[in-house]
Amino acid sequence: MNPIENYLKCNFKDDMNTIQEVFQVYDQNNDGFLDFEEFFALIKDVFKNGHNTTKSEEISVELVEALLKIFDTDKDEKINLREFADVWRYWLKQVLKPVTALIIVDVQNDFITGSLALKCCPAQQDGASVISPINNLLDTVPFDVVIYSLDWHPGNHISFYDNRSLRPFTPLNKEKSEVDVMDAVEFLGPPKTEQVLWPRHCVQNTEGSKLHPDLKVVKKGIMVNKGTNPDIDSYSAFWDNGKLSQTELVNILVQHHVTDVYICGLAYDICVGFTATHATQHGFRTTFIEDASKGVLMEDMKKTRNKLMNMGVVMADSHQV
């Protein structure tokens, strides 16, 4: 049994004591660094553990050099303990002990058949079409955690077009009588808040706020409500739009030791896209499931796709998961 296999039996703890113990195993000359040869030995053990048929000679020098370059932040061509902690937490953990979460974003009645149905938006996409691929994922992929996010707005929420008179606009905005549904405005605050005005939707405890009845809800599925503050919208399932407060989502993922998140739902260019953005910013390896996500504006969907790909998000269809 190589050292990596031994520590896997400890549920891949990421405390510094464990990290230092593994570091010392590979620091054969006890100089406080992993030089190229020592780092090479680590990489060989990693790939042996993940692929029993892998031979040592199949691990290329180029691969090891590339990995060392990524984690050698002080550019001394060696890995110190601090850098090794990053290797452990941001690479080894994902490679050797992945924990997966499926985040299903806002597959609610109002976005499918209700007041903000996607098929009535400019892209004219049918929100109901995400249900079959999502249900198939739930039936066929053994995700460790399944999370359902829900828009969960109070009746006086800032995003509702019919609430536009409840808060003062900034002087640069046109008169309230001239503002239309889906226009962007700026409320005076404090703080000043940019907001798209949507039809009233997903009001707490209404039929429109419920998950669509055809969507499979697994027994251990976790519900996360967002958009509960009346004075700021929350597209992302992680944060409100001003990043003033966050939901419990990141804590749930951390408590379950999640390394990889798969994200889908409604709408592609808004809530799903923002959730994927924040998942990546929180350090999760992120996959965006495109055929299980539908959007509002085709141009915004293209922009969202390009932005996420530039951030390193994997774009995939459900059959590839």
**Strands 184-187, 193-196: pairing kind:** antiparallel
CA angle 306, 140, 294 (to 5 degrees): 35
Pick the closest to residue 185 from 177, 176, 196 (CA basis): 196
Distance (Å, whole) CA 5 – CA 8: 5
Question: Which position has the token pair 């299980």?
Answer: 292
Give percent helix, percent strand, percent coil of the chain, each to the nearest 5. Answer: 40, 20, 40
Q: Which of 27, 45, 106, 110 is catalytic?
A: 106
- Residue 57's Cβ-count burial label (10 Å; 0-12, 13-18, 19+) is exposed
Q: Which of 121, 202, 264, 271 is catalytic?
A: 271
Q: Is 120 a catalytic residue?
A: no
274 close to 235: Cβ distance less than 8 angstroms: yes
146 close to 220: Cβ distance less than 8 angstroms: yes
**Strands 314-316, 260-266: pairing kind:** unpaired
Q: Is 121 a catalytic residue?
A: no
Q: Which pair of tokens denotes residue 172?
A: 């640069």
Q: Which of 44, 226, 240, 264 is catalytic?
A: 226
List C-alpha distances in Å: 27 to 40, 49, 59. Answer: 11, 19, 20
CA 247 distance to own-chain centroid: 13
Q: Is 226 a catalytic residue?
A: yes
Which residues does the annotation mark as catalytic? 106, 226, 271
